[in-house]
Homo-oligomer: A and B are copies of this chain.
Amino acid sequence: MTKEFFKVTDLGDALELRFGFKRLAQEEIPIYESTGRILAEDIESDVDLPDFSRAIMDGFAVRAASTFGASDGNPAYLNVPRAIAMGEIPSFSIGPGEAARISTGGMLPEGADSVVMIEHTDAIDETTIEVYKSVAPGQHMVAIGEDIEKDRTILFRGQQLRPQETGLLAAFGRSSVRVFRKPVIGIISTGDEIVPVHESPAVGKIRDINAYTLAGQIIQAGGIPRQFGIVKDDYDALLALCTHGLEQSDMLLVSGGSSVGMRDYTVEVLSAIPDADLLLHGISISPGKPTILAKIADKAFWGLPGHVVSAMVVFHAVVLPFIDHVGGLEPAYHRRPACMATLNRSVASSQGRVDYIRVKLIEENDNFTAEPVLGKSGLINTMLRADGLVKIDKHTEGLDENTQVKVLLFT
């Protein structure tokens, strides 16, 4: 027996490996379903938005100069010969001392450069109003191209679409859009002691938890989980199920195998699969050191630790960036929610590896406090109590109480 079982890879080096994997294929989808998806094309503005001057208040289209100096005590009197209906193209123009009734969304006539809010006016007679407040040019209206100018790249390949980006696609008449396909991610659980959720485990056995935590994480990552079931510590069965799982998915997560025997099986299976390239065998993170990554037919094959916390942390810290990469997300557009918080007790950490600690967030006095959740990485209750993870850099020996830390939030 030796004291070190495998040579670990630095976390940063492990993450670089993702760029060796190809992006997934693209597909055209209705924009209705596009929120959360990753754009596979640049989007150009082919018109100005708006392409006409629009009122954004109910009131009167005017020349701002006609209202200069107007106040409660000294109103401006304007002549209002006409009104503009919604969707109408006004055929007249507004001169000095003139106004036209306009509703929000209406098109400003030529000559008008602003809108007086109806609240700041009073009707004197059928065709005359008093204005109590001056407006500046451009006020209460949107000029041509003021929102988005024509012939610009407005959305970029690799960007994740939020509701507002989906709305922008609608504004430019894109009823469908090209996005990257959602990655299908297979899940296999291994271990003689693991039984399916619907079975009552005999003494010494436990139900399969990882298949469900990982499925949830895959859904949150924008992927499609596919469970392939449980395989015992059996080389032939593991090889058969891994081969099947790889055929059916874009990436495969084999969890369990945290025992040395199981890890050996996993590595043996990898060596039996043609073209399998073992990229790493151990990562310098805690929890999650006994992680395996191989590349098989341009698909990532992961051997994840069996402990539920370790598997979840490795997913957050390592697997997720790979999913993002193959799913087309550009690092500049990552929007994983995070917050800053004050650590409320010191935590120890080992130099030379990256530590992820679970923390609970407490909000008080316009500040977040991060309280470390202590507990073994086999205990799911620590994840139930935690709101997120704090990463402790490999060059750091630990964090002192009151350090400001960045918390990667669980959602």
User: A residues bordering B, Cβ < 8 Å?
Assistant: 1, 3-5, 31-32, 34-36, 49-52, 54, 56, 58, 85-89, 103-107, 118-123, 142, 146-148, 154, 161-175, 191-193, 197-217, 219-220, 225, 227, 233, 258-261, 306-308, 312, 335, 337-341, 366-368, 376-381, 383-384, 387, 404-406, 409-411
Q: Are A166 and B260 in contact (CB under 8 A)?
A: no
A88 to B205, CA, bound (A): 8
Q: Are B200 and A173 in contact (CB under 8 A)?
A: yes
Q: Are B212 and A32 in contact (CB under 8 A)?
A: yes
Q: Are A171 and B56 in contact (CB under 8 A)?
A: no
Given A58-B259, A87-B193, A307-B56, A171-B380 contact (CB < 8 Å): yes
Q: Which residue of B lies closest to A140 (CB)?
A: B376
Pick the 8 closest A-B CB pairs, nearest first.
A163-B216, A339-B339, A337-B337, A35-B216, A167-B213, A103-B259, A86-B192, A164-B383
Of the candidates B87, B142, B204, B211, the one whose C-beta lies within 8 Å of that of A52 is B204
Q: Are A103 and B260 in contact (CB under 8 A)?
A: yes
A382 to B304, CA, bound (A): 42
A302 to B174, CA, bound (A): 27
Q: Are B378 and A337 in contact (CB under 8 A)?
A: no
Shortest CB distance A135–B (Å): 13
Q: Which residues of B sit under 8 angstroms from A405, Cβ to Cβ?
A: 366
A36, A56, A366 — most chain B CB neighbours (10 Å) = A56
Given A121-B1, A165-B384, A379-B142, A219-B89 contact (CB < 8 Å): no
Q: Are B197 and A170 in contact (CB under 8 A)?
A: yes
A245 to B83, CA, bound (A): 33
Of the candidates B104, B200, B209, B366, the one whose C-beta lies within 8 Å of that of A171 is B209
Q: Which residues of B sit under 8 angstroms from A193, Cβ to Cβ?
A: 86-87, 105-106
Q: Which residue of B lies closest to A307 (CB)?
A: B56
Shortest CB distance A211–B (Å): 7
Given A165-B384, A404-B367, A86-B191 contact (CB < 8 Å): yes
Q: Are B376 and A105 in contact (CB under 8 A)?
A: no
Of the candidates B35, B123, B168, B203, the one whose C-beta lies within 8 Å of that of A51 is B203
Given A86-B233, A193-B87, A260-B58 contact (CB < 8 Å): yes
Q: Which residues of B sit under 8 angstroms from A210, Cβ to Cβ?
A: 167
Q: Which residues of B sit under 8 angstroms from A174, Cβ to Cβ?
A: 197
Q: Which residue of B lies closest to A169 (CB)?
A: B212
